[in-house]
Structure 1
Amino acid sequence: MNQALEKLLPLSFRNYVSNIRVYQYYKGYLSYRNQYKGKSKTIFVVGSPEHDNLGDHAITYAQMNFLRKAFPDYTLIEIVANRLMHNMRCLELYSTPDDIFVLQGGGNFGIEYFREEEVRRKIISEFPNNKIIVFPQTIYFGDTELGRAEFKKTQDLYGSHKDLTLVAREATSYEIMKAGFRNNDVLLTPDIVMSLDLTDPPKERKGALLCIRADKESIFSDQDKASIQNYSSKHFSQITTTDTCILRPVSLEDRDHELNTLWNQFKEAEVVITDRLHGMIFAAITSTPCIALGNYNYKVVGSYEWIKHLGYVKFTNDLNRIPELIEELRQIEHPRYNNEFSARHYNQIIQSMSDSLNEPSASSIVTA
C-alpha cells in the first residue's frame, strides 16, 4: 500500500495493515535465516511503544543505538508491545534457541502499567531456552494486596527461567530485584538513554522550559504548579511549557521526528524545570541546565545519583529552592555532557549477552 495513502486511513486500520506487513517481514526473514542453519544471528527487541510517552520512545531509540554498536553482526528486529500477539506464532515457528530477547527498559516493571508486565511474562514463559535480558528498569509493585500478589507471580515466573537477566536503573530497584529474584542475574546501570550525547549541534538558548507532568505520577497541586511558573517568570522573560507525553500516538515511522522536535526544545532553553525522569535525562544529554523535582516514587532521585556529578543538573524536593537554584545554574558557563561515566556500567549488559552467545565478548560500547 502507498505509504502516503496509508497515513490517511484510521489508526486502527493502519495498525492492522502494519501488523500484516511486520508479520510477513518476520516470517520471510526468519524462514530465510533457517534455510542457512541459523547463520544469521538475531536479537529481538520486544515491548517498544506506540503510545504518547516520548521518554519510552527515547528508551527504544537508545536501546537500538546501543545494540547496533555492541552487536554489529546481529540483525535487530523490533516488536512493538501492542503487536506482540500478532507475531507470536511467527516467533514460535522461526526463532531459534540462539536468538536473544531484549525486553524494553523503562519504569513499567510493576502493576502501574500492567500491559508491559504481561508482555514480559509472555516472552519469558514462551521462550524458556533463550537468553532474555530486561533492559534498565524501575520496579514498583506497591505495598497493596494486589501489588504483593502480582509481585509473587512475577517472582515465580521469572525465577523459573534458566537464563534471564534483570537490569535495574537505580539503587532502590536494584536492591528490590536482588532480594526478590535470587535465581536471576541482576545488574545495575543507568537508564539506557544516558548512553546518548545530543549536545551537538548546539542551538541558541533563551528562557525557561517547564516540563511538568499532569498524570497520576504527579505530586504537585495546581498551586504548586503556579508557584513553579511564578518563580520562573521572575528570572526569565520567556517561559515555554512542554511535556514528554504529547497526547497523541507515535508510530515507529514518526519516532525520530517527534524525539528530535522535543530534544531541540531542550537545546533552546537556558534552564529546564521538570518532574519528569526523562525531562531530567533529556536535559542532561543535551547539556541543558536543569532543576529536577521529585515524583511519587524513587526513580527520579535514584537516577539523579548517576548524573549529579555533572553540576548543571540539580535535584530538590523543595519548590522554595527553585529561585536559588536558577541563580546557581545561570552562573555555569558552557555545560557539557560527557557520557563516558556510563560506558563501564553498560558493558555489564554486553558481557551478559555475550556470555550466552558462546563467543568472544562483543564490542565495548562506544557512546554517542
Structure 2
Amino acid sequence: MSIHSWKINLAEWLLLKVKYPSQFVMGTNRIQAAAHKKKIILTLLPSHDNLGDHAIAYASKAFIEREYPEFDVIEVDMKDIYKSAKALMRLRHPEDMVFMIGGGNMGDLYRYEEWTRRFVIKAFRDYKIVQLPATSHFSDTKKGRKELKRAKKIYNAHPDLLLMARDETTYQFMKRHFTDKPVLKQPDMVLYLDKSEHRAEREGVYICLREDQESALGEEHRHRLKDALAGEFGDIKSFTTTIGRRVDRTSREEELESLWSKLQGAEAVVTDRLHGMIFCALTGTPCVVIRSFDHKVMEGYDWLKSIPAMKLIEHPEPEMVTAAVKDLLTKGTHDSGFPRDQYFKGLRNKISGEGK
C-alpha cells in the first residue's frame, strides 16, 4: 500500500492528534494472536459515555460472532485504529474484512468520528469494508458541503465498500451521493438483540430527555413537560444514556445490563433519545417517543411503530405527552413484537452480495 493512501487533511490530523494523544503508540500482541486466521476487524468502537453507541458496538459484535463463527473478531476502538492499522495489514488473511459500527456520527456534526471513518476507508483499501447501519447528516452549510465533498471522494474511491442506512432519509442520501456503492436499508444494530425475556415488577414512570445539540426541546419546554408528568404520575424517575463516565470493552456489557434492568422495572418511559426508544423496545417497556432535531428518531420509530406499547408524539405539548402515557399504562406491557428475523435473517448473504 502506498504511503500516500494514509494521508488525511492536515487540519483533521492535528485535531485528531489532540483528541486522541495516545493513538500513535503501537501495540500488536492482541493482533498477532490472530495471525494467519480469518478475521473481521470491528472498529469505530466508542470509549466515551454514550450507552447508545456502546449498545451498537455490543450488538454488532454479537451479530458477527453468531453469523460469522469461522472468523475471529478483532475489536479496535476508534482512538486505536490509527496505531493498529499497519499491524493488522501485515498479518492479513486473504478473507479478512473490516466492519465499522453504525450510529449517528456520519457527517459534519461529529467530525472526529467522520474523519476516522474516512481514515479506515482509505487505509483498508484492499479489504471489503462494511459500514453497519448509520444515520448521515451533512449540514447545508459551507462546512457541511465541504465535508460532504471530501466524503464522496473517499467513499466512492473504495473498490469494495458496502453502506447500510438505518433510515429512509439516509438511504436516499447514500444512493444519491455514493452512486457506485451498494446500499442496504437496515434497522439499528441494537435491534438485533432481545432483552424482553426477563420479567420484573414494574413501578413508576421514567424520563430520558436530551439536553444537547440534538434536542428539539428548549429548556423551558423540558421543565414544563417534567412538571406536567410529575403532577399526573407523582415522582418521575430520570435516567440517561450518557452516564458521565468513560465506558470501554471491559465495562460495556455491565453498564448496558444495568440500564436494561432498570428499564425492565419501569411502567412507562418518555424519551427523545433514539436508543432510549430502542432500549424500551428491547425490554418490552411502554414508551412515549418525542422527536429530536432531525429525522433520526422519527424514522427510527418507523421500524418500531407496530409495537403496541410504543407511541410517537410529534408535537410534544405536556398535556399530549401525559395523555399518551396514561393510554400506555391502561394497555399494560407487551412482548417487544419487533420482527427481528424479518430484517436480520439473511443479512450475511446480503453483505456478501448473494441476497437481494
TM-score by length of 2: 0.89
Q: Does 1:235 align with 2:240?
A: no
Contact 1:208/1:239 (8 A) holds in 2: yes
Give the 3-state SS of the residue equivalent to 2:75 in structure 1.
Answer: strand
RMSD (CA atoms): 1.8
Contact 1:41/1:74 (8 A) holds in 2: yes
Code of the aligned partner of 2:243:
I
Distance in 2 of aligned mates of 1:208 and 1:304: 20
Gaps of 5+ in 1: 1-14, 34-39, 362-368
Give the counterpart of 2:260 among 259, 263, 279: 263
Distance in 1 of aligned mates of 2:32 and 2:87: 6
TM-score by length of 1: 0.86
Give the counterpart of 1:161 among 158, 167, 179: 158
Distance in 1 of aligned mates of 2:225 and 2:169: 28
Post-superposition shift, 1:162? 1.3
Mapping of 1:218-229 within 5 angstroms? Answer: 218-229=215-226
Distance in 1 of aligned mates of 2:179 and 2:219: 43
Code of the aligned partner of 2:33:
G
Q: Does 1:23 align with 2:28?
A: yes
Post-superposition shift, 1:96? 3.4
Once the two structures are aligned, what percentage of the paired residues are identical?
32
Counterpart residue number, 2:330: 331
Code of the aligned partner of 1:122:
F
Counterpart residue number, 1:280: 277
Code of the aligned partner of 2:311:
K
Counterpart residue number, 1:63: 60
Post-superposition shift, 1:69? 1.1
Check 1:117–1:349 CA distance in 2 against 1; reply closer, same or farther (3 A cut): farther
Give the 3-state SS of the residue equivalent to 1:331 in structure 2.
Answer: helix
Q: Does 1:122 align with 2:119?
A: yes
Counterpart residue number, 1:75: 72
Distance in 2 of aligned mates of 1:107 and 1:178: 18
Distance in 2 of aligned mates of 1:97 and 1:72: 17
Contact 1:190/1:342 (8 A) holds in 2: no
Post-superposition shift, 1:70? 0.8
Gaps of 5+ in 2: 1-20
Code of the aligned partner of 1:80:
D
Give the 3-state SS of the residue equivalent to 1:310 in structure 2.
Answer: coil
Counterpart residue number, 1:306: 303
Counterpart residue number, 1:113: 110
Check 1:348–1:146 CA distance in 2 against 1; reply closer, same or farther (3 A cut): farther
Contact 1:189/1:342 (8 A) holds in 2: no
Code of the aligned partner of 1:342:
R
Counterpart residue number, 1:315: 312
Counterpart residue number, 2:140: 143
Distance in 2 of aligned mates of 1:46 and 1:239: 38
Code of the aligned partner of 1:123:
V
Distance in 1 of aligned mates of 2:189 and 2:140: 27
Give the counterpart of 1:189 among 176, 186, 189: 186
